[in-house]
Every structure is written in C-alpha cells, then in structure tokens.
C-alpha cells in the first residue's frame, strides 16, 4: 500500500466511526430537544440522564479519537457502550420506548464486524432488554412472552439483514478493488509503452511530427525540435521560406507544400523538397512523407516524417558536376580520334592488317564515345532537365535508320525488323533515335551467341507501341524493378561493358513525350522492352 493509500484508509476509518456515532448522537439529541420542548421532566431521572450523557460523550470521542491508530477491535467499545447507554435510558424511562435506539448500534456492529458484530449487537441488546423488561414485570405470565420478544426478534432481523448486506458489499468491493487494480496495471503499462515510444522516436535521426485533425502539431520528436531550435536553417513546415520541388528549381504552390497537405489530412509517399532560395547558404533539402494514423474512433491525424538529405544531394551534385566536366573534356578528343580514324580508313592503299587494326580503334573509340555521351547526357539532364524540340516525324523511319546503323556492328546477332506500322507523330526525332539506339544496342549486347533481335511498331489512332525483343540472358523480377535506376547494372550482365544510364535516360525521354517504357522478361529466354508513346503532341508529364 502506498503512503497516500494508507493515509486515505486511516481517514476513512476515522470518518466512518464518527459518522456512525453521529447518527446515534443526533437521534438522542432530537429526543432530548423534543422532551425539553414538551417540558417532560425526565432529566431529574438519574439513570436516563446518565444514558444521554454517555451517548453524547461517545459522540465527542468519535470525533476526537484517531481510531485508525488503535487496534480495530477497540471500535467495538463505542456501540457496546451505546447499547449500555440505551439500556440506562430504558431503565430510567420505560414509557419512552427508547429500546428502538438499540437498532443503531446493532446496525453499526453488524456492518462493521459482520457475523460477530451481528451476534454481539443483537445478543447483547436483546439480553439487556429482556433482563430489564422481565425485572419490571412483577407477575410474569405466558402472555408477556410475545410482548417481550418483539424487540429482540426485530433486532435479530436487523442484525442478520445488515450483516448480509455488508457481506454482499464486501464481495462487490473485492471485485471492484481487483478491477481497479487491473485497470491501474493496464494504465501503468500503457504509460510505460507511451514513454518507450517517445524515447524511441527521440532517438531517430529524422524528424517525426504528428498533426491532429485540426491541423495542429500534437507531437514533435527530439530531432525535429532541435531543427526548430537551431533557427539558422529552414525546417520542413516553416512558413517563412519558399518550398521548391525535387529539381530544386520549381516553386511548389502553397497547396502542395508537404505540411499543408498533411494539415488537410492527406497521405503522401516520400518526396524531396528544397526549403529556401536557390543561392541561399542555409537552403536545405528534406525527404518528406505523410502517413495517416487512426488514434481513436473519432480522431485521426497525419504523421509527417522528414529526413534532412541536403548532404546526400550535395554529394550527388558534386559527383554529377565532376562527371560532367570529365566527360565533356573527354568527348572532344574522342570525336577527333574517331573522325581521323574514319578518314584514315578511306585510304585505299592501307594494308589489310593496318585496316583491321584501325577498325578495332574505330570500334573502341565509338564505344567510348557512346559511354561518355551517356554520362554527359545523364548529368546534364539532372542539372537542367530535358528540353524537347518537337517536329512532325515518323517513328518507323527512325527505326529503319537505327537498324541499318546497328547492323554494321551486330556481329553474330541477327537484327530483324518485324511489323513496322507507319507512325507519323509530332515528337523529338533526335531523342527518340537515342531511345531506339539504346534499346537495340542493349538487346544485342545482352544477347547470346547467334541470337536475334526483333523490332516492331504497332500504331493505333491514339498511341504507338515500339517493341524491341531479344533472345538474350533475360532478367529476374528483382532486376526488372531496379532496371531504370541510374547506374544500375544487373549482376548477370556485369561482364559486358556499360554505364547503367541508357535505360534511365530512355525512360526520361519517353516520359517527356507523355509515354513510358515497360519491360517483360524471362530469365534465360530473353526480354522485350516496349516504348508506349501517345500520338498527340503531348506536352509530357512531370514525374
Ligand atoms: P548499360 O547497358 O550501359 O549498362 P542501361 O541503362 O542501358 O545501361 O541498362 C542497365 C542494365 O539493364 C544493364 O546493365 C543490363 O544489366 C540490363 N539490361 C538492359 N537491357 C537488357 C536486355 N535487353 N537484356 C538483359 N539485360 C538488360
């Protein structure tokens, strides 16, 4: 028992003794006042007067004595003395029927000490009552028996019913105590769980904020609070700064700011936003996601999780800048190597050996040039994005040209042109040639010896589907999900040279045209890459 509970318990005993005795004292006081008012001269009667005095004295004791400090049985003294006092009053004034006052100490004893209290209370008061009444009766006949027994029988009934009610109360109290104990344990456990969750959230290196359904921040973990406290850089949710999209250039409209979306109760997947002006030193990038959580039946909110990815993105940018400058420097000398070798190959007087050697040099420099172009293209696309220059063109013509160029270096892989629907459209021919070249060269590179590549075009009035199928190594499910990620190269193909950039660039070009690229593959059997392009001069989608 805690010290607080113990104090409450002590206060409870003291109060209940006083209140029980107060009822007795008040009843006797009411009788006394009535007798005084009616001017009944009972106080000259010494026994009656002493009974009244004892009851008042006991009431005073009930108020003053700290019963909780005495052994529990000492409380019995008070009702027992009450019974004695009532007997004295009864002896003094038999005509007043004060025997009914026995009921109060009997109830008290039966409710406090249950079985033994009931026995003691009813027994003692009955014995005293019978003794007094019998002593007053000079000639005792059988007709007096029922008259004398009415009061003891009543007292016995009161004692039994009080005892039973008290026993029932106690049983209920035990159940209630047990239930409140269980509740207390459950509450303690849930508080512990809450504390543990808070501690876990505080250890996370990223910010976690919970907004309630009235768009107020209800909880922010330590990481988020420390971002707010540093005050030198913008934090997600800061309304004092402009928010830019992942490309770091496009300003996000107010309704698309992550915290505004969360305040609307919207869920959103992780996306990068930049806070602060492009040239600002304090500009920060955050990867922010919002997830709805149901707290109670009628209250929901959104948890916003934000990671500071500034350093990561700056490192990527530094890598891209380096790549761009290195590849840019490499491109010019390589172009001139390829150009001069081509010129040299035109010389009819070349010996066969020199011609073969020069052809190898040309092939290698072409390959290097295509790798360098991919790298340059990718870093340029990340820095400034693609810009398309659309014009009327036919995709079938592009495929035929690309196939002709590819056949020159197809080796033992056979390149077939299947069904080629005419596909006139308004698009960027240069960029789409890049896509076709990339898909065809991949299909040849990752093929088996003496395999084949088939290119088809199926056009409808709405869209055009260009498919490049090969009989090569194929791809697993997990490889297919990562295929379009920059620098990704499937483990099974790492023995063949490449940068892992071509598919990413190709998909970006397809998406800029409002289309996309999908892949279907069976490991060991081959793959089909399909480019879907809308027919109309689509402005492209932002993704
Ligand atoms: P690269 O070919 O320069 O590595 P890509 O972005 O064009 O870069 O291709 C990424 C990866 O996808 C390749 O490294 C290869 O593992 C896989 N891949 C692409 N095309 C095919 C294909 N037709 N068959 C099997 N794997 C392929």
Give the pLDDT confidence score for residue 296 in this predicted structure.
Answer: 58
pLDDT interval class at 11 (50, 70, 90): low
pLDDT interval class at 500 (50, 70, 90): confident
Instruction: Report which ligand 1 atom has the smallest distance to the Cα of 504.
Output: 6
User: Taking CB atoms and a 6 Å cutoff, what residues make up the pocket around ligand 1?
Assistant: 438, 442-443, 446, 470, 472-473, 475, 483, 488-490, 493, 498-504, 527
Query: Mutate which of 442, 469, 480, 502 to test ligand 1's pocket (most atoms within 8 Å of Cβ)?
Result: 442
pLDDT at 421 over 60: yes
Which DSSP symbol is given to 72?
A: G
Residues 304, 259 contacting (CB under 8 angstroms): yes
pLDDT tens-digit readout, 393-416: 999 999 999 998 888 777 889 999
Number of H helices, E strands in the chain: 13, 13
Distance CA(209)–CA(219), nearest Å, equals: 6
Q: What is the mean pLDDT of the chain?
A: 87
**Long-range contacts formed by 33-36: CB under 8 A, 24+ apart:** none
Give the pLDDT confidence score for residue 540 in this predicted structure.
Answer: 44
Dihedral sign for Cα atoms in the order 90, 96, 97, 103: negative
Q: Is the pTM of this model over 0.75?
A: no
pLDDT interval class at 8 (50, 70, 90): low
What number is the average pLDDT over the span 291-295? Answer: 78
pLDDT at 539 over 50: no
pLDDT tens-digit readout, 194-215: 899 889 988 988 999 988 777 7
Instruction: Report which ligand 1 atom has the smallest distance to the Cα of 470.
Output: 23
Query: Mutate which of 503, 508, 518 to test ligand 1's pocket (most atoms within 8 Å of Cβ)?
Result: 503
Nearest Cα neighbor of 468 from 394, 401, 527 is 527
Cα 286 to ligand 1 centre (Å): 31
Instruction: Report which ligand 1 atom has the smallest distance to the Cα of 473.
Output: 25
Instruction: Report which ligand 1 atom has the smallest distance to the Cα of 468.
Output: 23
Query: Mutate which of 435, 446, 452, 504 to test ligand 1's pocket (most atoms within 8 Å of Cβ)?
Result: 446
Query: Mutate which of 378, 470, 500, 527 to test ligand 1's pocket (most atoms within 8 Å of Cβ)?
Result: 500
Buried b (16+ CB within 10 A) or exposed e, 335-352: eebbeebeeeeeeeeeee
Give the pLDDT confidence score for residue 366 in this predicted structure.
Answer: 84
Distance CA(211)–CA(132), nearest Å, equals: 80
Instruction: Report which ligand 1 atom has the smallest distance to the Cα of 491.
Output: 16
Cα 500 to ligand 1 centre (Å): 7
H helix or E strand, kind and range, residue 154: helix 144-203
pLDDT at 487 over 80: yes
The percentage of the chain sitting over the pLDDT mark of 70, rounded to a whole number, equals 94
pLDDT at 538 over 60: no
Closest protein CA for atom 21 of ligand 1: 442
pLDDT at 55 over 50: yes
What number is the average pLDDT over the span 521-529? Answer: 94
Q: Reduced to 3 states, what is the DSSP secondary structure of residue 301?
A: strand
Cα 256 to ligand 1 centre (Å): 36
């Amino acid at each position: 028992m805690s010290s607080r509970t113990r104090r409450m318990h002590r206060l409870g005993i003291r109060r209940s003794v006083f209140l029980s005795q107060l009822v007795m004292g008040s009843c006797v006081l009411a009788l006394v006042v009535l007798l005084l008012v009616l001017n009944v001269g009972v106080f000259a009667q010494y026994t009656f007067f002493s009974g009244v005095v004892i009851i008042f004295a006991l009431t005073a004791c009930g108020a003053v004595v700290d019963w909780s400090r005495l052994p529990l049985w000492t409380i019995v003294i008070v009702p027992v003395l009450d019974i004695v006092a009532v007997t004295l009053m009864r002896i003094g004034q038999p005509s007043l029927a004060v025997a009914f006052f026995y009921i109060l100490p009997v109830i008290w004893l039966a409710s406090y000490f249950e079985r033994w209290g009931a026995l003691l209370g009813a027994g003692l008061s009955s014995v005293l009552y019978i003794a007094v009444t019998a002593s007053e009766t000079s000639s005792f006949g059988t007709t007096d028996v029922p008259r004398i027994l009415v009061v003891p029988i009543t007292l016995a009934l009161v004692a039994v019913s009080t005892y039973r009610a008290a026993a029932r109360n106690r049983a209920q109290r035990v159940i209630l105590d047990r239930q409140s104990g269980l509740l207390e344990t459950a509450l303690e456990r849930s508080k512990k769980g809450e504390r543990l969750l808070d501690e876990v959230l505080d250890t996370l290196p990223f910010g976690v904020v919970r907004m309630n359904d009235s768009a107020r921040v209800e909880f922010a973990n330590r990481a988020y609070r420390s971002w707010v406290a540093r005050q030198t850089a913008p934090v997600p949710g800061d309304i004092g700064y402009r928010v830019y999209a992942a490309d770091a250039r496009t300003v996000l409209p107010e309704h698309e700011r992550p915290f505004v979306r969360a305040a609307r109760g919207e869920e959103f997947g992780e996306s990068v936003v930049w806070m602060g002006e492009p040239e600002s030193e304090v500009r920060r990038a955050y990867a922010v996601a919002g997830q709805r959580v149901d707290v109670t039946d009628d209250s929901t909110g959104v948890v916003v999780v934000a990671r500071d990815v500034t350093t990561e993105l700056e490192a990527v940018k530094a890598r891209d800048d380096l790549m761009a400058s290195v590849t840019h420097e490499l491109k010019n000398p390589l172009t001139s190597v390829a150009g001069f070798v081509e010129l040299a190959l035109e010389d009819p007087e070349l010996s066969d050996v020199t011609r073969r050697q020069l052809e190898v040099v040309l092939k290698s420099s072409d390959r290097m040039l295509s790798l360098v172009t991919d790298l340059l293209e990718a870093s340029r696309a990340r820095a400034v994005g693609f810009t398309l220059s659309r014009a009327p063109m036919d995709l079938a013509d592009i495929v035929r040209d690309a196939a002709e160029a590819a056949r020159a270096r197809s080796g033992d892989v056979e390149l077939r042109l299947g069904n080629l629907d005419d596909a006139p459209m308004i698009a960027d021919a240069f960029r789409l040639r890049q896509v076709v070249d990339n898909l065809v060269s991949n299909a040849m590179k990752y093929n088996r010896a003496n395999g084949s590549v088939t290119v088809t075009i199926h056009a409808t009035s709405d869209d055009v589907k260009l498919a490049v199928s090969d009989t090569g190594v194929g791809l697993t499910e997990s490889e297919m999900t990562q295929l379009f990620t920059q620098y990704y190269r499937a483990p099974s193909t790492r023995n063949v040279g490449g940068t892992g950039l071509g598919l990413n660039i190709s998909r970006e070009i397809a998406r800029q045209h409002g289309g996309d690229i999908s892949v279907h593959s069976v490991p060991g059997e081959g793959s089909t890459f399909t480019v879907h392009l809308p027919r109309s001069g689509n402005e492209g989608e932002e993704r």
